[in-house]
Amino acid sequence: MLGRIIAAIWLSLAMVLGSIGTVQALTVAISLNAQSDLEASGVPGMAYGYVHEEPLDWFELGVKRKGIDDPVTSETPFIIGSVSKSFTALAIMQLVEAGKLDLEAPLETYLEGFAGKQAGQATIAQLLSHTSGYSMLQGNEAQADLTQDADALARRVRGLAEITPANRPGEVWAYSNANYQILGRVIEIVSGKPFDIYMTEEVLVPAGMADSYVFDGERRPEAATGHRPFFFGKIANDESLTGRGSGPQGGIVATAKDMATYLALMMNGEDDFLSAEGKAMMMRPASEASPNYGFGWFLDSEQGLVFHSGANPGFEALATMRPSDRRAVVVLTNAGSGMAFGQTTELRNRVTAHYLDLPYSGESTSWGMIAGFLILALLPVIYLASMIWAWRKRTDLRAKSGAFGLFSLWFPLLSTGAAAWALLSLVPSLFGAPLSAIRLFQPDVGLAMIASAVLGVVWAVFRLSLAYSRKQGR
């Protein structure tokens, strides 16, 4: 039974931790579906942009913060999460074209803290394509670091220099935020500018992204508020849940209008903020070890798509391009998906599929995910009820004797101890995110995991204390 419970929890978590008149007609049609999906997912607000060759269009629904009548507009910035990696990759390519970086040079060439270490042998190209050797878990270890100090990125990268990557460079593809944290620091060292300053001056401004910026720890009234899942609803973020050290991996804050402009530039085949060849190179497979990822972009060769999703606590985004006909869609939401309820996946995918004429029939109901979530949510209640039952049956517990009696008394402590280890250590490790990150993105899941682990052991200890207290005086 324990094994089935843990398997169900893992399955659930793994599926948690994607002419003017014509455009206007499409907007009206999609807005009806989007409004329905918006309400079903519990997302307070969203914005999306559509690119077809040069014409751009964008649309907005909902509000910036739940419970407040402040509508989302085309100038409302959202944190775009890991879609930011494409911006960091673009900045690296700018420095390559300026002759300041070599894609095939080892990391230790630019960051002396990596000299003589395994991580220092990874090339810039391998960092860009997630083949440096760092694992997903290693990249997520600092996810809950919310410090807003100016040196947050430098400090985080110094810590990564002390970690031995899980694999040798170039051998395995493994998505890891560590790669882009390091690349952000490379940008700082090579350019001589702080990451946010470089990105603003050399990428955002040249791209015409006037309402977008790199997250700096400040709350801005024009920006959308993030909302995280909490059991069957969403709760608003009352503080900044993104640290400045996360800038290169997921700290760009952008509007739908600006993102549409950016995607159009990426597909225009012209030399502007980056050469046409440099942009094309970013959207090609990086190596044999990375057939489905270029530099900052995922690749779907079958459908000719270039895309990246993004998630920060309380925000989710999806940017998708089809360079062959210069069409693209970006969808920004100010809420994260729940593990089993209030998911935003269909909201983003339906809008994307509609504008790119992709087949899409919606998301199927995952009963395994629902079951896993309900198990997590109910286990603490079951343990509390079991403690009440044990108190009422304390006389029977004290009467247990012999080998079978000892086994029935002590086995629950062994099994709940194992379950606690699985919930607090094994499952996060397999999921590729420490418990601190799970609690940040999925506060309800994190709370349920901790409560289940702790109350299970407390219940087992409580039974034993009842069994061995006043055993002779019953």
Supply angle C-alpha 430, 432, 433, rounded to 5: 115
Write the single-letter amino acid at 96: V
Could you please report the per-residue DSSP string of 13-73? HHHH---HHHHHHHHHHHHHHHHHHHHHHT--EEEEEEEESS-EEEEEEEEEETTEEEE--
CB 320 within 8 A of CB 307: yes
Neighbours of 163 (CB within 10 A): 15
60-99 b/e with 16+ CB inside 10 Å = b?
bbbbbbbeeebebbbbbbbbbbbbbbbbbbbbbbbbbeee
pLDDT at residue 56 in the model? 84
Identity of residue 35: Q
> How high is the pLDDT of residue 471?
52
Nearest-angstrom CA–CA distance, 429 and 369: 19
Strand, coil or helix: 375: helix
CA 165 to chain centre: 21
What integer pLDDT is reported at residue 153 of this predicted model?
94
107 near 336, Cβ under 8 Å? no
Rounded-to-integer distance, Cα 138 and Cα 115, Å: 19
Per-residue pLDDT reduced to its tens digit, 31-50: 446 677 777 778 999 999 99
What is the rounded CA–CA span in Å between residue 141 and residue 393? 44
Tokens 């609803």 -> residue? 233
Written as six digits, the tokens of 368 are: 């395994």
How many helices and strands in the chain, by DSSP H and E? Answer: 18, 12
- Helix, strand or coil for residue 176? coil
What tens digit of pLDDT does each residue of 330-379 get?
Answer: 999 999 988 877 788 888 998 999 899 998 887 777 778 888 888 888 99
Are 251 and 242 a contacting pair, CB within 8 Å? yes
How many Å is the maximal CA-CA distance in the chain? 89
Residues 6+ apart with CB under 8 A from 72: 45, 46, 47, 60, 61, 62, 63, 64, 224, 334
Q: Are 179 and 128 in contact (CB under 8 A)?
A: yes
**Residue 413 is encoded by which pair of tokens?**
């402590």
321 within 8 A of 269, measured Cβ to Cβ:
no
Please state the length of the chain.
474
The number of C-alpha atoms within 13 Å of 374 and in the hemisphere containing its C-beta is 6
Query: Crossing angle for the helix pair 367-392 and 443-468, nearest 10 degrees?
Result: 30
Compute CA 271 distance to the chain's CA centroid, rounded to the nearest angstrom.
Answer: 32
Which pLDDT value is given to residue 373? 86
- 77 DSSP 8-state letter: -
Q: Which two tokens stand for residue 458?
A: 């407390």
Round to whole Å and give the CA distance between 243 and 260: 26
| Tens digit of pLDDT at every position of the chain (474 positions) | 334 434 444 433 433 333 333 333 344 444 446 677 777 778 999 999 999 876 788 888 999 999 998 999 989 999 999 999 999 999 999 999 999 999 999 999 999 999 999 999 999 999 999 999 999 999 888 777 777 788 899 999 999 999 999 999 999 999 999 999 999 999 999 999 999 999 999 999 999 999 999 998 888 889 999 999 998 889 999 887 888 889 999 999 999 999 999 999 999 999 999 999 999 999 999 999 999 999 999 999 999 999 999 999 999 999 999 999 999 999 999 999 888 777 888 889 989 998 999 988 877 777 788 888 888 889 999 999 999 999 999 999 998 888 998 999 999 999 999 999 999 999 888 888 889 889 999 999 999 999 999 999 999 999 999 999 865 444
